[in-house]
A and B are shown apart, each in its own frame.
Chain A
Amino acid sequence: MQKTTITPPQWSAGMFVQRYGIFLALLLLCLVLALISENFLTTRNILNVLRQTSINGILAIGMTFVILTRGIDLSVGSVAALAGVVAASLATTSSAGMVAGGPYPAVIAILAGLAAGMACGSVSGAIVARFGVPAFVVTLGMLSAARGMTLIYAAGRPIPNLTEEFRWIGTGSIWGIPVPIFLLLGTFAIAHFVLTQTRFGRHVYAVGGNPHAAKVSGLPLRKIRFSVYVISGALAGLAGMVLAARTGSGLPQAGIAYELDAIAAVVIGGTSLAGGVGRVTGTLIGALLIGVMNNGLDLLGVESYYQQVIKGILIVAAVMLDQSKNKQD
C-alpha cells in the first residue's frame, strides 16, 4: 500500500557536493592559486582579498534577504553612494560639501549614512509591499533617483578630507586586521543568526518559498516584504560608508554597477532568484569566490577586462549547476 515506514535520510557523495559544493570550489580555487602564484598565500594578500571583498560582501548579504522573498534590489549601488556622501558631508573638514557645524563625530556621520540607506530602502519596500509593483521596476527607479539625489546633495563634486575618526572604518585595523573585515564578518554573523534562528528569518523563507502558504498561515506578508528592503538599504548604507572611508572622500559617482556584483555573489552562493532557497553562508562564499578570482587574476597579471568575462562565465555556470541539481523531480 502506501509507504508508511519512516526511514532516515541517507548521506551520499551527491548530497555532500550539493551542500558544500560552492565551498569546495572556493577551496579548490585557493589551492590552485597558491600553487601557481607564490604571492597568493601571504598574510598581506589574504587580508587584501578579504578587505576588497568586504564591501561587496556586505551589499550581497543585504541582497540575500531581498532575493529570498522573490524580490531584487537594483538600487544598492546608488544607495551606497548616497549614504557615502551624506556621511562624508558630516565628517569632512573641507568647506566644500560640509554640513554647517561640522565635522561631526564619526558616530553621527555613520548614523546619518545608515538612516539615508534605510530611508531609500523604506521607500522601495513600501511600494513593493503595499502596491505590489514588481521589485525590479521599483528598485530600478530607486537606482536612478538615489543617484540623482546623490549628485544633487554633493553638487556633483567629491567631498574630500574626511576626518581620521571616520576614515577608521575603512582604513583602520584591530589587531592587525582591517576594520572592513570585521564589519563584514559582523554583518554575516547577525544575518546568519537572524535567518537561521529567528522567527523573522523563517518568515522570510516562507514568503519566498510559497507566498500563498505564508498568507494562509497568517503571516504579515507586507511587513516581511517591507523589512527586507529596509535591511538591504541599511547594509547598502554601511557598505557605502566603508567605501567612502577607504577612498577618503564621498564620491557621488561611487558604487556604479555594484548591485551586479552583489547579485552575482548571491546567485553564485546558491540562493535561487525564485526565492525561498539559499543561505548567507553561500552568499559569503560567493563573494569570496569573486574576490579570490579577481585577486588571482591580478596576481597573474591578467587584465581586468578578462576578469569581467570570467566573472560572467562563473555566474552562469553556478546557476546552471544549481538548476541541474534541482531538476531531480
Chain B
Amino acid sequence: MPPLLEVEGLSKSFSGVPALIEGKFRLEAGTVHALCGGNGAGKSTFLKIVMGIHDRDSGTIRRNGHEVTFSNPSEALKNGIAIVEQELSPVPAMTVAENIYMGREPLRSFGRIDFATLNRQTQDLLDGFGFAIRATDLMMDLTVAQTQLVEIAKALSYDAEVIILDEPTSALGEAEAEHLFDAIATLKARGKGLIYVSHRLSEIFSITDHYTVFRDGRFIQDGTTADITKEQLIQLIVGRPLNEEFVKENTPGKRVVLQVEGLRAQRGVHDLSFELREGEILGLFGLMGAGRTEVLDRLFGLSTETGGSILLNGQEARIKRPSDAIAAGIAYVTEDRKQTGLVLSSTVRDNLCLSSLGQLSRLGVMRARQEAAGAAGMIAELKIKAASDALEVTNLSGGNQQKVVLGKWFMIAPKILLLDEPTRGVDVGAKREIYRVISDFARAGGAVIMVSSESDEILGMADRVIVLKDGVKAGELARDQLSAEELLHLAA
C-alpha cells in the first residue's frame, strides 16, 4: 500500500533566502509521525507547502502514490489534507460554528445557511472531543486555549486522511491535551495519518510512531520513535551536544535593578511581583496565552493597563510609553521582528540607528558620519552578515535580522534587556552568536528578562525562571531546580 503522503526534494526560498532544501517525508496510514526541528528548521515552510498555502520551488508530493500539486488550500482540503497551524488565526467576529464550517456551511432552501444544523453539528463535534466550548460563542470571546481547541476540532472535522498538527498543545493544559491525544488515538485506529510537530519531546515519545528531523532547512534523519532515545533526538535536532549550544558566562550580582509589585497587564495579568538583579538572566516561561508578552509590553510602556508599581534601582518609575522606558534604559526585542522590530523596507543602517536618532542628530539634522560609524560598529560587534549596510533588511536571513534588532537596542546602551523569543526563526549558527551577545551583556552587568517557549533555551540560559499561568505567577525556580518537566508542570 502506498504511503498516504510522500515528499521528496522539496525546496523553497523566500526572496533568495532558502527556507527549505530538499525536504523529505513519508507518512504511512494509521501512524502518528513526528516532525522535529528547532526554530528555522523549515518545518512550517514544509507544512505550508503541503497544505497549498505556499508554492514550492521544486520537489514532488505524492498522495497515495499519485503526484499532486496544490495551488491553494482548497485543493489540499479536497485531497484529504487538513492542518492546525501554529499561529492561531480565527475570524474574530464570527462564531465558533461559523469558523469551523467555513466554506462548507449546511444549506437549506433558497441558499440559506441552516444555522440550526450548523450549530448542532458543531456542538456535537465539540462535545464528542470533550472540549467545553459553546458553538455559538464568538471567537473573540474565547481564551487562547479554547481558540486552539476550536482550530483542532476544525481540522479533525474534515475527516481528512492526512492531518497536520503544528504545535497543537502550545496553549493547552494537561487535561485538554489529554482530550487531544484521545482523539489522535481514535483517528490512528481509523487508518488516518497524522503529522505531529511539537517542541515537547515527552509528547513525541508518548504518542508518535515515527519521526523525521529537519535542521537548517534540510532533512537530517527519519526513523521509528521507539528506536531512538531522547538525548539522541535532541542531538539530531540541535546538531551538536546540548551543552555546546548555549553560551552562558554571566554571574548574577546582588543589586536589584528592577522591582515589580502587583503589576497588572493585558490579558488578565495581575498581582505579579518579582525582582531582577544586575547581571542576571531571568527566564519567563508559560503556555501560549499565559501573558508573558503582555508583561514585557507593560514594562516597556506598550500597555494601556497601568496598575502596579515598577521600581528601577529603588526609584518609582512611571512608564507610560516606550520613550519613558527607553529613557530609563530599557530595551525590548519583540516577539515578531517583522511586524514590530524592523522597518523591513529600510536599510540595515537605518534600522540600526532607529532608536538613537536623537544622539545621532544635531538640531534635528542627521549626522551621516555618526550614523555610518554607529552602524558599522554594531555590524562588526554582532557579526551581522550583510553585503553592505545599505541593503534592505528584508533581504537578510532571520538570524541576521534579529541581530539588527539587537544592534538597534545596543546603540542606546541599555541597562535592562527585554527579550521575547529571541531566537525564533533563527538558524543554529546565528542562535549561538545571539546567546553569546546575551551572555556578554549580562556579564557586563546588564539585566535580562527572556521570554521563551523552548524549555531547552530557558534551561540553557536562565539563572532563574518565573512561570506564568493564566496571568499570574505559578512558580519561581532557581537554576538548580530547573527541568523541562518541572517547567511544564507549573505552566499547565
Least Cβ distance of B173 to chain A in Å?
Answer: 5
A202–B100 alpha-carbon span in the complex (Å): 12
Chain B residues, Cβ within 8 Å of A201 = 113
Least Cβ distance of B7 to chain A in Å?
Answer: 19
Chain A residues, Cβ within 8 Å of B103 = 203, 217-219
B143 at the interface (CB under 8 A from A): yes
Chain A residues, Cβ within 8 Å of B91 = 205-206, 209-210, 213-214, 276
Residue of B nearest to A213 (CB): B89
Chain B residues, Cβ within 8 Å of A199 = 105, 107, 111, 113
Docked complex: A255-285 residues within 8 A CB-CB of B: 276-277
Least Cβ distance of A35 to chain B in Å?
Answer: 37
* Contact, CB under 8 Å: B93 / A209: yes
Residue of A nearest to B174 (CB): A1
Chain A residues, Cβ within 8 Å of B133 = 6
From known contacts A202-B98, A202-B113, A276-B92, infer whether A5 and B132 are also in contact, taking CB-CB under 8 Å: yes
* Contact, CB under 8 Å: B85 / A216: yes
A220 at the interface (CB under 8 A from B): yes
Least Cβ distance of A327 to chain B in Å?
Answer: 8
Docked complex: A1-26 residues within 8 A CB-CB of B: 1-6, 9
A141–B85 alpha-carbon span in the complex (Å): 38
Chain A residues, Cβ within 8 Å of B73 = 215-218
Chain B residues, Cβ within 8 Å of A219 = 74, 102-103
* Contact, CB under 8 Å: B93 / A277: yes
A329 at the interface (CB under 8 A from B): yes
Contact with A along B53-84 (1 / 0, CB 8 A): 10000000000000000001110011000010
Contact with B along A59-92 (1 / 0, CB 8 A): 0000000000000000000000000000000000
* Contact, CB under 8 Å: B175 / A1: yes
A220–B78 alpha-carbon span in the complex (Å): 13
A257–B160 alpha-carbon span in the complex (Å): 51
From known contacts A2-B145, A199-B111, A219-B103, infer whether A213 and B90 are also in contact, taking CB-CB under 8 Å: yes
* Contact, CB under 8 Å: B89 / A6: no
A130 at the interface (CB under 8 A from B): no
B99 at the interface (CB under 8 A from A): yes
B121 at the interface (CB under 8 A from A): no
Docked complex: B173-195 residues within 8 A CB-CB of A: 173, 175-176
Interface centre among A4, A5, A9, A213 (most CB of B within 10 A): A213
Contact with B along A210-246 (1 / 0, CB 8 A): 1011111111100000000000000000000000000
B134 at the interface (CB under 8 A from A): yes
A42 at the interface (CB under 8 A from B): no
Least Cβ distance of A20 to chain B in Å?
Answer: 17
B278 at the interface (CB under 8 A from A): no
Interface size on B (CB < 8 Å)?
37
Residue of A nearest to B108 (CB): A197
Chain B residues, Cβ within 8 Å of A5 = 132
B319 at the interface (CB under 8 A from A): no
A43 at the interface (CB under 8 A from B): no
* Contact, CB under 8 Å: A216 / B132: no
* Contact, CB under 8 Å: B113 / A197: yes
A234–B255 alpha-carbon span in the complex (Å): 71
* Contact, CB under 8 Å: B176 / A2: yes
Chain A residues, Cβ within 8 Å of B102 = 202-203, 206, 213-214, 217, 219
Chain A residues, Cβ within 8 Å of B416 = none
Chain A residues, Cβ within 8 Å of B83 = 216
Least Cβ distance of A93 to chain B in Å?
Answer: 41
B463 at the interface (CB under 8 A from A): no
Chain A residues, Cβ within 8 Å of B78 = 218
B94 at the interface (CB under 8 A from A): yes
A162–B376 alpha-carbon span in the complex (Å): 74
A327–B266 alpha-carbon span in the complex (Å): 12
B420 at the interface (CB under 8 A from A): no
Chain A residues, Cβ within 8 Å of B53 = 215-216
Chain B residues, Cβ within 8 Å of A216 = 51, 53, 73, 83, 85, 89
A209–B94 alpha-carbon span in the complex (Å): 8
B112 at the interface (CB under 8 A from A): yes
A136–B99 alpha-carbon span in the complex (Å): 29
A215–B103 alpha-carbon span in the complex (Å): 10
* Contact, CB under 8 Å: A213 / B99: yes
Instruction: Pick the contact of A2: B134, B141, B470 (CB < 8 A).
Output: B470
Least Cβ distance of B143 to chain A in Å?
Answer: 7
Chain A residues, Cβ within 8 Å of B94 = 202, 205-206, 209
From known contacts A2-B145, A213-B89, A216-B83, infer whether A202 and B74 are also in contact, taking CB-CB under 8 Å: no
Chain B residues, Cβ within 8 Å of A215 = 53, 72-73
Chain B residues, Cβ within 8 Å of A6 = 132-134
Chain B residues, Cβ within 8 Å of A277 = 93
Chain B residues, Cβ within 8 Å of A209 = 91-94
* Contact, CB under 8 Å: A210 / B132: no
Docked complex: B140-192 residues within 8 A CB-CB of A: 141, 143, 145, 154, 173, 175-176
Residue of B nearest to A210 (CB): B91
Residue of B nearest to A218 (CB): B74
Residue of B nearest to A6 (CB): B134
Interface centre among A209, A217, A277 (most CB of B within 10 A): A217
Chain B residues, Cβ within 8 Å of A198 = 111-113
Chain B residues, Cβ within 8 Å of A206 = 91, 94, 98, 102
Least Cβ distance of A295 to chain B in Å?
Answer: 33
A3–B266 alpha-carbon span in the complex (Å): 18
Least Cβ distance of A14 to chain B in Å?
Answer: 14
* Contact, CB under 8 Å: A1 / B98: no
A213–B83 alpha-carbon span in the complex (Å): 11
* Contact, CB under 8 Å: A218 / B92: no
Interface centre among B89, B102, B111 (most CB of A within 10 A): B102
Interface centre among B77, B99, B304, B470 (most CB of A within 10 A): B99
Docked complex: A298-329 residues within 8 A CB-CB of B: 327, 329
Can you list 19 A-B contacts (CB < 8 A)?
A2-B470, A3-B143, A197-B112, A203-B102, A205-B94, A206-B91, A209-B91, A209-B94, A210-B89, A212-B89, A214-B91, A214-B102, A217-B102, A218-B73, A218-B74, A218-B77, A218-B78, A219-B74, A277-B93
Kindly list the 9 A-B residue pairs having the minimum CB-CB distance in the complex, ordered from nearest: A218-B74, A209-B91, A217-B102, A197-B112, A210-B91, A4-B132, A213-B89, A218-B77, A216-B73
Further contacts, 8 of them, CB under 8 A, given A199-B111, A216-B53: A2-B470, A9-B141, A201-B113, A214-B91, A215-B73, A216-B89, A218-B78, A218-B103
